[in-house]
Structure 1
Amino acid sequence: MPAVQPSTPSILNASAYKFVTLDDLPVLRDRLHEAAASLGIKGTVLLAEEGINLFVAGPVEGLRGWLAQLRADPRFADLAHKESFSEKTPFRRLLVKVKREIIRMNQPAIRPEERRAPSVPARTLARWLDQGSDDDGRPVVMLDTRNAFEVKAGAFEHAIDWELRRFSDFPKALAAHAAELAGKTVVSYCTGGIRCEKAALAMQEAGVQHVYQLEGGILKYFEETDGAPHWRGGCFVFDERELLDATLAPAASAATAAP
């Protein structure tokens, strides 16, 4: 009797963000909600004057169709998303919300749409970590910009952790520790890229000279590498999966995460 082939998970999970000026927030909110609801999509879409941030899941064809509709808007034409698959939708409802910021930092002068800090691709970062320095010979340090409980679930080995309670605590922590980063190449990282993008700009504003953000965050690093040997544990995500392993599959248990 032939072996039963495992079925392909039917639910697509997608996350994405883009810093772009939005001036039609109520209209855009209603349009995105109506389209997503009609396609069985659940999750959260955050809209603000500074851009869009989304974490959604749904049937593969439906979600791909919704993303295509989103990219038909010229403001989102180059929106890059990260994806993974699961057996069921890890969200209970659909929320499309208008907020003051798509990721709260309380630093209105930080405007990623106007300029970005340099980014480092996942494979380049893995090479830097293997050799212990960047291509100019400077020591590389990883700076985790996530909340402390996320860091406990998994992190880059020897990463700096300022034990943030929330991302809006980052500027205060930076002011206290900026001098410790002098002479090093600092790579900020977070789950999907949005927090480390603002963090990298804040470090530049604080006078830290050699700053990069990890392009696409941890999820892109997992997608393009196997995580080893520099990652420990899993990656906390804000949905019912809670923890992803380096294959972007739900981890068996948070108990397997790094201490």
Structure 2
Amino acid sequence: MSVPHRYTVAALYEFRPVADPAALRNGLHEFTRNLGLCGTLLVAPEGINGTVAGSREAITALHSQLLALGFTAMEYKESHSPHAPFKRLKVRLKREIVTLGVPVEPLRQAGTYLSPAEWNALTADPDVIVVDTRNRYEVQAGTFEGAVDPGIDSFREFPAWVEQHLSGQEGKRIAMFCTGGIRCEKSTSLLREKGFQDVYHLQGGILRYLEEVPAAQSRWQGECFVFDGRVTVGHGLTPGAGEMCHSCGWPLDQKDLASPLFERGVSCAHCADTTTPAQKAAFRDRQRQYDGGLL
């Protein structure tokens, strides 16, 4: 018997100047306080970003409020989850809605948007450099055929990777992608600032691609890591088979789960050698509390 989709999950962002980010953050906190939402909303001088989940009515109310506040050009997509994918709602004030660490201007010089169909056509050309801008643990769950993995642990590391690995290739066509599109707004802006001309990115990111492109026509391999309790999603944005190591955050496949180094909530093959016995004991205690419904 299938589990009903009790939660609507909305992923959204918009780069738009915010005159008073603190006032916007406080207003959204007050508006959402009694909606029963969970997830995270980020507010910064450059705009808003977030992934939130709740009832159909609550998500519609939040969407309508953001539109009323002037965020009418949001990149916005919905999916579903049978369980609450987050524990609580956080509305936070930040310096950037996605942290690159160097100044860029997405509103002025982001790369050319590609629809999923256009993306398939461009990335089929072997002369195009396809770059996955996500962190290496996200790439572990899945990526596009032929994509370059920068092997970064944080988006802040991306500018240094560009300097080291793309310098001298300004004449090449570069196609970039990320989960929902927001990181590519900044990564393509970075390349344009450095003199790259033919820079493209997948509009709506992997999530829109998996929503629109049938598996039979897809260039995607594996599942897409998402930052919530579902861990991964597949084509049609259906919850995937991924499980996360709650010690290090890596997405785990069936081989990882079968490893003798895997202990749920404690360790996996990626981190078993990096934590002390005392840390593992604390993780076991945390897992026991979680299993007992205390967390």
Given candidates 209, 219, 237, the residue that maps to 1:230 is 219
Larger CA Rg, structure 1 vs 2: 2
Taking the aligned partners of 1:248 and 1:196, their CA distance within structure 2 comes to: 20
Deviation string 1:106-146 (CA, Å, 9 cap, x unpaired) is 112x01123332111111112334xx32xxxx822310000
SS in 2 for 1:151: helix
Q: Does 1:125 align with 2:113?
A: no
Query: Could you say which residue in structure 2 is the equivalent of 1:202?
Result: 190
User: Contact between 1:152 and 1:257, CA under 8 Å: does it hold in 2?
Assistant: no
Taking the aligned partners of 2:89 and 2:192, their CA distance within structure 1 comes to: 36
Taking the aligned partners of 1:206 and 1:182, their CA distance within structure 2 comes to: 8
Q: In the TM superposition, what are the counterparts of 1:85-124 in structure 2 within 5 Å?
A: 85-108=80-103, 110-124=104-118
User: Contact between 1:85 and 1:249, CA under 8 Å: does it hold in 2?
Assistant: yes
User: Contact between 1:175 and 1:206, CA under 8 Å: does it hold in 2?
Assistant: no
User: Contact between 2:170 and 2:195, CA under 8 Å: does it hold in 1?
Assistant: no
SS in 2 for 1:113: helix
Taking the aligned partners of 2:228 and 2:13, their CA distance within structure 1 comes to: 17
Taking the aligned partners of 1:239 and 1:104, their CA distance within structure 2 comes to: 19
Query: Could you say which residue in structure 2 is the equivalent of 1:242?
Result: 231
SS in 2 for 1:15: strand
State the Cα RMSD in Å: 2.0
Taking the aligned partners of 1:24 and 1:257, their CA distance within structure 2 comes to: 49
Taking the aligned partners of 2:167 and 2:96, their CA distance within structure 1 comes to: 28
SS in 1 for 2:108: coil
Task: Indicate the percent of aligned positions where both proteins have the same amino acid.
Answer: 38
- Taking structure 1 as reference, are residues 59 and 153 closer, same or farther at Cα in structure 2, changes over 3 Å only? same
Given candidates 144, 164, 178, the residue that maps to 2:166 is 178
Given candidates 19, 37, 44, the residue that maps to 1:41 is 37
Given candidates 29, 48, 54, the residue that maps to 1:52 is 48
Give the counterpart letter for 1:37 in structure 2.
R
Taking the aligned partners of 2:190 and 2:137, their CA distance within structure 1 comes to: 22
User: Contact between 1:178 and 1:208, CA under 8 Å: does it hold in 2?
Assistant: no
Query: Could you say which residue in structure 2 is the equivalent of 1:255?
Result: 253
- Taking structure 1 as reference, are residues 215 and 12 closer, same or farther at Cα in structure 2, changes over 3 Å only? same
Query: Number of paired residues?
Result: 246
Give the counterpart letter for 1:241 in structure 2.
R
User: Contact between 1:16 and 1:79, CA under 8 Å: does it hold in 2?
Assistant: yes
Q: Which has the higher relative contact order, 1 or 2, with Cα contacts under 8 A spaced 6 or more apart?
A: 1
Structure 1, unaligned runs of 5 or more: none
Q: Does 1:66 align with 2:58?
A: no
Q: Does 1:154 align with 2:149?
A: no
Quote how far apart the aligned CAs of 1:7 are. Answer: 6.7
Query: Could you say which residue in structure 1 is the equivalent of 2:25?
Result: 29
TM-score normalised by L of structure 1? 0.88
Give the counterpart letter for 1:141 in structure 2.
I
Quote how far apart the aligned CAs of 1:229 are. Answer: 4.0
Given candidates 10, 13, 35, the residue that maps to 1:17 is 13
User: Contact between 1:153 and 1:257, CA under 8 Å: does it hold in 2?
Assistant: no
Taking the aligned partners of 1:176 and 1:53, their CA distance within structure 2 comes to: 29
Quote how far apart the aligned CAs of 1:178 are. Answer: 1.4
Given candidates 69, 73, 79, the residue that maps to 1:78 is 73
